Amino acid sequence: MKRRIRCALLALIVPLTAMGADITVPRLSGALTLDGRLDEPMWRAAARLPHTEFLRWIADTYTDTGVFHLRFFHDGRVLYVALVSYDSHVEADAAPEDADGLYSLSIATPSDELKHYRLRWSANPPIAAGEMLKLRKWSARLRGPFQDPARPGGGYVFEIAIPLWSIGWKPGDTIPVNIIVNDHNGKPNAPFRTPGTEFARFAWGSFENDNLAGYRTIQLAP
């Protein structure tokens, strides 16, 4: 009964597609290596979520023209997620809340337990937190001049593999999800609330990732 009531509330809160979810995650097969390069054909066929679908919160000023998107697919056993950022300035910081990257990919289990997967560019390689510490199935790569000065552009890629058994869902299910991404520029190593610091936090769902009512939904294709 609790699960049915929660799904009904989500249906009232979020705009749903004909498939009953905000995004349908395709089921794709093929060999994949977690290397942050996204060279496999499955990533080209994956569902995409652009930064224009996110809410944006600005701490002080923010003028960066960098963009990002996320990609999703599953193979029946594992949910694969990638964050691709085209960012002219990757900001590492000892304080995780001040660093660029995935502040949280939050997933609710069938019993409403919230699992927060975090990867943030607090160092190189980036620092994992939350469920990522247990999972250890991820990779990251700097792009453009951060990797090769001869290449234009810049930014980073995170690549994550989440076993479906670990979140309690299976193909065909609709999953409550919340995503928060950080972009911090302007004053290196300055807290994001420092005057003059360019900082933005982007949310697909809600900035309160501990509040299930604000979550969006993805459906795993059967």
Q: Which long-range contacts (CB under 8 A, 24 or more apart) does 30-33 make?
A: 30/75, 32/80, 32/161
**pLDDT confidence bin for 150, thresholds 50/70/90:** low
Cα(147)–Cα(58) distance, rounded to whole angstroms? 28
The whole-number average pLDDT for the span 134-151 is 81
Residue 213's region, left for phi above 0, alpha for psi from -120 to 50, else beta, is alpha
Using an 8 Å Cβ cutoff, are 27 and 75 in contact? yes
The tally of domains found in the chain comes to 1
pTM: 0.87
Instruction: Find tokens 């093929």 and name the residue.
Output: 30
Range of the domain at 155: 2-220
Beta-bridge partners for 16: none
pLDDT of residue 146: 67
Cα(207)–Cα(199) distance, rounded to whole angstroms? 15
The b-or-e profile of 13-37 (16+ CB within 10 A means b, else e) is bbebeeeebbbbbeebeeebeeebe
DSSP reduced 3-state for 169: coil
Domain with residue 16: its CATH number is 2.60.40.1190
More confident residue, 20 or 138: 138
pLDDT of residue 12: 38
**pLDDT confidence bin for 20, thresholds 50/70/90:** confident
pLDDT of residue 94: 83
pLDDT of residue 3: 44
The whole-number average pLDDT for the span 169-177 is 98
Cα(76)–Cα(79) distance, rounded to whole angstroms? 8
Give 189's DSSP letter. T
The 10 Å Cβ neighbour count of residue 213 is: 14
> If you average pLDDT over every residue of the chain, what do you get?
87
Strands (E), the chain: 23-25, 47-50, 55-58, 67-74, 78-86, 101-108, 114-120, 127-130, 138-143, 155-163, 174-185, 198-204, 216-220
Using an 8 Å Cβ cutoff, are 138 and 34 in contact? yes
Query: Which tens digit of pLDDT belongs to each residue from 89-127?
Result: 888 888 888 899 999 999 999 999 999 999 999 888 899
Cα 168 to Cα 27, 111, 201, 222: the distances in Å are: 17, 9, 29, 15
